[in-house]
Amino acid sequence: MPLENISCNKSAGGWHKQYTHRSEVLNCDMRFTIYLPPQCAAGQKVPVIYWLSGLTCTDENFMQKAGAQRMAAELGVAIVAPDTSPRGEGVADDPQGAYDFGLGAGFYVNATEAPWNRHYHMYDYIVNELPTLIEAHFPVTDQRAITGHSMGGHGALMIALRNPERYSSASAFSPISNPMNSAWGQKALTGYLGSNTKNWKQYDSSELMRIAEVKLPMLVDQGTHDNFYNDGQLRTETLVAAAEANSYPLEVRMQDGYDHSYYFMASFIDDHLRFHVENFNK
């Protein structure tokens, strides 16, 4: 599968690169960003941390705002940040142009409802197509961890819970932890999957954690001044209850005064990278 390099910047001794490629799963051209630490230039293969972004974001937001490159270079890990939805001519969008559905809001599911099922298969893209592409073209190992923010935090936890054999660990900032019972999640799951709520459970981290048999180390940071948390969109407490019911190894840290912004992520991203590297080493 050919890649086109569209930007390249040196950062923290390594290289921050942006690529486009044709996605067979999504039936459109896609873009991702990869940070390759300096160890790669020395001929070393490194593990990969996948970052999934939230509503309205692209592959660029986290990579430009969170300041993760310095610690990734120190630890010797690559970071891959995909886009948050399919895009391009012919890709369906919300008819009213809403920010929380359609373009920029793929919710990391495989859509079954028309017209979304023509392109919106972000689950398959993140789990299978993108890692296959990364491992074929870059000096990385098959060790993977996954993390994300908000909608991307939902995607990271849910994907890890469904595919524990593919990841060493998972983490999230302010994840949508129980989308079946949040307004964002209900809108997205109804639109992409239809009204049968039984089909939603496979994409709900709280539901999955409650029944998980294979368990991965997981870390969640949640800000106490996050307006979406306080409005009931994120439902962190439901995830905590599911973990307690199933003795799941989840650590949730309530971070006093922090909100939903990239200032929050920039403050604690080093902890998350270290967490994943510790579990790579195990």
Indicate if 171 belongs to the active site.
no
For residues 221 and 265, what is the distance between their CA atoms, to the nearest angstrom?
9
Rounded Cα distance, 12 and 208, in Å: 38
Residues 192-245 have pLDDT tens digits of: 999 999 999 999 999 999 999 999 999 999 999 999 999 999 999 999 999 999
The answer to whether residues 74 and 64 touch, using CB atoms and an 8 Å cutoff, is no
Choose the catalytic residue: 119, 154, 226, 272.
226
Domain ranges of the chain: 3-280
Do the Cβ atoms of 162 and 208 come closer than 8 Å?
yes
Backbone angles phi, psi at 173, to 5 degrees: -110, 125
Q: Does this model's pTM top 0.95?
A: yes
Mean of per-residue pLDDT scores for the chain: 97
Q: What is the pLDDT of residues 147-205, one digit of tens each?
A: 999 999 999 999 999 999 999 999 999 999 999 999 999 999 999 999 999 999 999 99
Phi first, then psi, for residue 155 (nearest 5°) are -60, -45
Active site residue 150: yes
Please choose, from the candidates 153, 158, 166, the residue with its C-alpha nearest in 3D space to the C-alpha of residue 57. 153
% of the chain residues with pLDDT over 70: 100
Domain 3-280, CATH class in plain words: alpha beta
Q: How far is CA 154 from CA 43, 89, 123, 141, 265, in A?
A: 34, 27, 12, 25, 15
Q: Which residue out of 154, 260, 272, 276 is catalytically annotated?
A: 260
Out of 11, 23, 53, 150, the active site residue is: 150
Active-site residue, 154 included: no
Assign 31 to helix, strand or coil: strand
